[in-house]
Structure 1
Amino acid sequence: MDENKSLIFQMNKVVGDLHVFKTKVHNYHWNLVGEHFFVVHPMLDCVMCEIDEQIDEVAERILMIGGRPFGSLEVYLKHTVLAEAETKAYTAEEAVTSMLADFRLLLSEFNIIMKLAEDLNDQETLGLMANIGAIYQKHIWMYGAWLTK
């Protein structure tokens, strides 16, 4: 357990990050306005479903390696790298731009976990984070392409 302490802490930070991210995406989903509403609104539903699965996978992996996942909003907010989003109307461009920045931040957090997992020869955690990271890399590419004028 002691050898996994840093890994478990970093994974718990990601559990919090993902909860904050899902809340932000939900905020954009509810408050989306403008000409791209019918394209982006359903896309946000898919992102929220992905995040729910990722939260569960990371939390269950924490349990498998002897940890206990964070489970309070107070703790999530204390440890997240993400800033909360204001409750207001968002255009599709504003929402996607913000999500793109968050995907990049989260990917850097996943990379920290992958390095720790690699040092511990924890191939299962490494694989989990690489799989989620690949999804985020694809989102970064696609949303970046959508924002290109």
Structure 2
Amino acid sequence: MTDTNAIGLHESSANQLAERLNALLANYQIFYMNVRGYHWNVKGNQFFELHTKFEEYYTDLLLKVDEVAERILTLGYTPVHAYSDYVKMSDIAEDKDIHDGTSCVRGILQGYQSLIGLQREILSLASDADDEGTAAQVGDYIREQEKTVWMLNAYLG
């Protein structure tokens, strides 16, 4: 009897990774909705610029939601799919009634910082488990999001 899954990872490692990836999925879902809300509700003289930029962000976040869920499935586990579970599992809180552009940008900056921290944790776990697929996925996300953090900080001055 083997203790590896269909892609050759040890079950205990795959289980631990799936749990952390489900936490990541929850954070992505809440963050996605926050950014979607910023897109809908931003007001002020930066409206056109920010409305367009926020759409770019939430479109990318939605793609990543699907990719993270599919990675959980690849590991042999079930992605969490109830919004009530996302709210409980996410470190990123729901952000409501934000209209000011600067506050929206700060919310996005904090969201990306949270994601990067969690993804670094997952990257470490994936490396220890010899899970190149998960490591590559979150490594790519970290690289992209670190640049976004730099740009958001530059925008805020």
Q: State the TM-score bracket (shorter-chain normalisation).
A: over 0.9
Which residue is equivalent to 1:15?
A: 25
The answer to whether residue 108 in structure 2 is matched with residue 106 in structure 1 is no
Q: Which amino acid counterpart does residue 97 of structure 1 have in structure 2?
A: R
The answer to whether residue 103 in structure 2 is matched with residue 94 in structure 1 is yes
| RMSD between superposed Cα atoms in Å | 0.9
Which residue is equivalent to 2:54?
A: 44
CA distance in 1 between counterparts of 2:81 and 2:124 reads 25
Deviates further, 89-98 or 33-42: 89-98
The answer to whether residue 46 in structure 2 is matched with residue 57 in structure 1 is no
CA distance in 2 between counterparts of 1:15 and 1:83 reads 14
The answer to whether residue 91 in structure 2 is matched with residue 81 in structure 1 is yes
Structure 1: where are the runs of 5+ without partners?
none
Contact 1:34 1:91 in 2 (8 A): yes
Which residue is equivalent to 1:34?
A: 44
Q: Which amino acid counterpart does residue 67 of structure 2 have in structure 1?
A: E
Which residue of 62, 66, 74 maps to 2:76? Answer: 66
Contact 1:33 1:89 in 2 (8 A): no
Q: Per-residue deviation at 1:131?
A: 0.6
- Structure 1 residues 50-74: Cα deviation after superposition (integer angstroms, max 9, x where no partner): 0011011111111111111110011
Contact 2:98 2:104 in 1 (8 A): no
Which residue is equivalent to 2:151?
A: 142
CA distance in 1 between counterparts of 2:77 and 2:121 reads 18
* Higher Rg: 2
Segments of 4+ moved more than 2 angstroms: none
TM-score, normalising length from structure 1? 0.95
TM-score, normalising length from structure 2? 0.91
